[in-house]
Structure 1
Amino acid sequence: MTTQMRASDQDRERVVERLNEAVGRGLLTLPEAEERIAETYKARFLDDLTPLTADLPDPTPPKPERGRRRGPGFDPRVLPVLLVLAAVIVLTHGFAFPLIVVAFLAMKFGMWRHRHPARM
């Protein structure tokens, strides 16, 4: 009776992806990869899959994106445009409600946020 864990199709596919990535990075030749892929699909146990990628470096982690990424939502760069539109409405119609909305948005989304000096 064996104590080895059986390999699933998902385990085999992960190994095949790693082998294909290794070919793309120039770590394996195409004939080497084809041979290893054939062995991958023949593998019955997880221990049979380990040697197929043992000489390859760990998979590359995803690179963090540079710069600040904005999520969905309100873009504070539109506040000056809203302010101009609100001022036009107030001056032409005498209706001050748009200024209240713009002031609320400016406070909520940081038009007048305090900027703290960088900490060391």
Structure 2
Amino acid sequence: MEGTQTGRIRTSDAEREQTAEVLRAAMGEGRLPLDEGEIRMTAVYAAVYRDELTPLTADLPGRGLPALARTPERLALARRHLRGHAGAVVLVIGVLVAIWASTGAHFFWPVFAIVPLLLSVFKHAAVIRAGGTWESRDWHGHGPWSHHRDGFHAYHR
């Protein structure tokens, strides 16, 4: 009842764990000394409301998300997503070319779909090469628990 009276929103276990992941990545990167990181980790697991998590990553570049995106686990996940994306694009291109071939059309109309599809794969690969993930590409400057007009932004895994 207290949360609705104060306007504060309770945090979830997933949000606490997500913040802890960000702090672990920042400690691994050397941005937080271990003793300060441990103090913040204790505060993460003691947090009851979302607004208690925000200050724990506020002084990290990009609220700590760039460091999290560069962890080996996240990069492996990003590469798996890229392979899935590329596979789906190849499948769609194959279907479009098969339809074009079966219709006997002289003009190669699938090019209008193939070019944007291939560009999306190249852009996806460029985002990963730059050290990010496809899912994190529009998070610059705010955390996954930020409050926006449309509410809570969930972290994509």
Is 1:9 paired with 2:13? Answer: yes
The residue that corresponds to 2:47 in the other structure is 43
Instruction: Name the structure where helix makes up a greater proportion of residues.
Output: 2
Q: How does 1:1-120 map to 2 (within 5 A)?
A: 1-58=5-62, 59-60=65-66, 61=69, 71=87
| 5+ long unaligned stretches in structure 1 | 74-106, 108-120
For 1:13 and 1:49, locate their aligned partners in 2 and report how far apart those are by CA, in whole Å: 11
For 1:2 and 1:8, locate their aligned partners in 2 and report how far apart those are by CA, in whole Å: 18
For 2:28 and 2:46, locate their aligned partners in 1 and report how far apart those are by CA, in whole Å: 23
| C-alpha RMSD of matched pairs (Å) | 3.3
Relative to the length of structure 2, the TM-score reads 0.40
Q: Deviations over 1:29-60 (max 9, x none)?
A: 11111000000111110000000000011212
Structure number with larger C-alpha Rg: 1
State percent identity of aligned pairs.
42
| 5+ long unaligned stretches in structure 2 | 91-100, 102-157
State the SS of the aligned residue for 1:5: coil
Q: Shift of the alpha carbon at 1:71?
A: 3.9
Q: Segments of 4+ in structure 1 off by > 3 A?
A: 61-65, 69-73
